[in-house]
Amino acid sequence: MKIPSKPTILALAIILATPLAANPARDAIINALKQQAGVSSFSAEEGKALFLATHSGGKPETPSCTTCHGTNLKAGGKTRAGKPIEPMAVSVNPQRYTDPAKVEKWFRRNCNSVLGRECTPLEKGNILAYLSSL
C-alpha cells in the first residue's frame, strides 16, 4: 500500500478538524441572510424558540414547525399525508440547507403555513443557526 503523501495527510487533517456545520454552500446561505438581516451573527436560542413554539397566525392544520418535523430533530418527521421527512439536524443529515432554492422554497411555504406570513431574514438565520447546532 502506498503511504499517503504529506499534502494528502494535511488535507485530511483539515477536513477532520472542520466543524460539522461548516459547509461552503450552507455558509453562503447563512452569510447572505446575515447581509439581508444586517447582523453579524444569529441566535440559535431564538431559532429554537421559534421552531418549537405553537403559533396561531397560520393555517389551523399546522400550528408548529414540529407538526411535521417532530420535536426530536435528529429523528425524522412526517407530513400530514403520512410521508416520512428526513431529520432536520445537520449533525445527522449533512446535506441539509445546502441548496439555496430549496431552502427559500420551504421557508416561504412553511412559514406561510405555520405563521401566516413569510419569515424575516433574521428569523430564517436564527432557525438555520439552531438546526446547524443540533
Smallest distance from the beta carbon of 82 to ligand HEC, in angstroms? 7
Verify binding: residue 108, another protein, rule CB under 8 A: yes
Which of ligand HEC, another protein, none is residue 96 near (CB under 5 to 8 Å by kind)?
A: ligand HEC
Q: For ligand HEC, which residue of 48, 89, 110, 134 counts as binding (CB under 6 A)?
A: 110
- Three cell numbers, residue 4: 499517503
Report the alpha-carbon distance of residue 76 to residue 66 in Å, rounded. 11
Of 3-62, binders to another protein (CB under 8 A) are 59-62
With binding defined as CB under 6 A, does residue 122 bind ligand HEC? Answer: no
Contact status: 129 vs ligand HEC (CB under 6 A):
no
Residue 60 binds what, of ligand HEC, another protein, none (CB under 5 to 8 Å, by partner type)? another protein
> Using CB distances below 5 to 8 A depending on partner kind, what does residue 112 bind out of another protein, ligand HEC, none?
another protein
Distance CA 43, CA 12 (A): 31
Return the C-alpha cell found at 86.
Answer: 428526513
- Footprint of another protein on this chain (CB under 8 A)? 59-62, 78-83, 105, 108-110, 112-113
